[in-house]
Structure 1
């Protein structure tokens, strides 16, 4: 006699392994605001870091420009019996001075903002400037006291490099609002986060902090001796 198959149970079939139910909880308002705040803080840190890196890179490029200007001026002196680079024309601007004595550095358009005469942090729009490139077209100034920019700034009888008492403490070129630094409105311009780049008469370049207003005098801007 053949056995009949076992009858199936009438009860509903249940899986052997059922998944436990998990409750889903949404973010609370406080948690959401906390996450947003953290993201904002991180974004601010990243933006500040990028800005700092860019500023550092621009300051380095500016320092390189000044180093080349200083080197060219010193080479002129070495080739001319140690005579300092001087302006042949009273109130002659640095563009004219450069064209005469630093021809290798002034080839090309003085309005070219990528050139050696332009600081990367100089944001003045010169697109509307007309006429011959002059003091308004460049970013750096020369120490007016020591290059004979005008009669009142001559130092009679002292035109040699050896006459500079403290070459490592006397600025040759620096960030400026015009092509020369003197005691009136043509002054050093602290465009690198309240600092300036400068090349000294010994050829070294330094980044200098802005001095306190109490120590800025007419003599400070004429000699610019640190």
Structure 2
């Protein structure tokens, strides 16, 4: 009888020990899987953010090209001018998209910080301020007054027709840009005008694996690293090789 009891106790102890080993094994496996999956999930999230940003810029550029096709080839300016100025993000998109779509298409999920007032632009038509993550190449689109001659900065003078851009596939039109209230970009209009506006790092954030999404005047979007963006202010990337 005693032998049977001792055997039963040893069996219970063995089963308990085996269960503990199993538990530790499962924990170890879960740790390994987590170590593998967490970087993968992060990479997938970054890929999705890049895809969303690319889609946003394509829609913005498509709206601009549609505008040009309906307005004698003129690209939409940075702002409407006058006392009731409306800047390009809302002015361009309000006519083609409903409010929820506007809110989504103006935001790059990789750089937008909710509640950052420097990322807001206000439509004087609706009085509604909306966040946005993108800037326009003002050396191409200029301001509302097309009668003034263009100057070096471009944004105080005329805008250019789409057909005047000699190298649309190499000319930037829109780009993601963070901290739109800082130097280099207008707090309301969201613009870039040359390389000097971005070297401080205040405009181009390079959030997509150290690359920045750029939309070109022919409608395509590319992710460019800092060394791929020309630092020559006279490069066609900035000027479109238009005749000043």
Give TM-score, length-normalised by structure 2. 0.62
Alignment of 1:163 with 2:174, yes or no, is no
Residues 1-226 of structure 1 correspond to what in structure 2 (within 5 A)?
Answer: 40-88=31-79, 96-105=87-96, 107-108=98-99, 115-126=104-115, 133=122, 137-149=131-143, 152-154=152-154, 159-177=160-178, 178=180, 179-182=190-193, 183-185=196-198, 187-211=203-227, 216=231, 218=233, 223=238
Cα deviation for residue 126 of structure 1 reads 1.9
CA–CA distance in structure 2, aligned partners of residues 35 and 203 of structure 1: 52
CA contact (8 A) 2:121 2:132 kept: no
**Partner of 1:102: helix, strand, or coil?**
helix
Structure 1 residues without counterparts, runs of 5 or longer: 1-21, 28-32
How far apart are residue 57 of structure 1 and its match? Answer: 1.1
Query: How many residue pairs align between the two structures?
Result: 198
Q: 1:187 Cα deviation (Å)?
A: 3.0
Contact kept, 8 Å, 2:142 with 2:160, in 1: the verdict is no
Q: Tell me, which stretches of 5 or more residues in structure 2 are unaligned?
A: 1-10, 19-23, 124-128, 144-149, 181-189
Moved more, 52-61 or 97-106: 97-106
Q: Assess if the C-alpha contact under 8 Å between 1:180 and 1:187 holds in 2.
A: no
Give TM-score, length-normalised by structure 1: 0.66
Give 1:181 shift.
1.6
Computed over aligned residues only, the root mean square deviation of the Cα atoms, in angstroms, reads 4.3
